[in-house]
Amino acid sequence: MKKSMIRNGFIVVLLLSNMLFIYKWWMAPERRHQGPRNEIIEKLHFDEKQVAAYDVLIQGHRKAIENAQEKLLDQKQRLYSNLDAPFSDSLLQEILKTEAKIERIHFNHFKDIEKLCRPDQKHCFKALNREIARLFSPGKKPKQ
């Protein structure tokens, strides 16, 4: 009887913790996919107009990156789908060009962010340059 109660209590605790996790995840969608947006806004001291312009930049950047990543995935799929054939140097060159394009998109995005800065914010942007690799590393969370 006592084992059964302990087991049931444990199950209830697990269910409640899962429900709490799902609730927090579901009720806070604005925190998902923000990336380093808020940290950049804070560090550059953007005003409301700059934040609105930055959000437009982010949308364009995400769309360009998604398109390039889809192309890259397709190229890699073609490369690896036929392992019986000889290695394709031409396909490898396409992949490298697409990866270079992705880096160019990122670089231009940072230059566009810099263009949003007023002259009094340029020093903040220069300080931010040292952190860009950390902020945009996949799987790494920005420091709070």
What distance in Å separates the CA atoms of residue 102 and residue 96, rounded to the nearest whole number? 10
> Can you give the pLDDT at residue 142?
46
Tell me, what DSSP letter sits at residue 144? -
Residue 130 has pLDDT above 70, yes or no: yes
Architecture of domain 35-135: Up-down Bundle (1.20)
44 pLDDT band (50/70/90 cuts)? very high
> Can you say how many angstroms the Cα of residue 62 is from the centroid of all Cα atoms in its chain?
9
Q: What is the pLDDT of residues 45-98, one digit of tens each?
A: 999 999 999 999 999 999 999 999 999 999 999 999 988 889 889 999 999 999
Q: What is the pLDDT of residue 57?
A: 96
Q: For the whole model, what pTM was predicted?
A: 0.69
d(CA 18, CA 129): 40
CB atoms closer than 10 angstroms to residue 121: 18
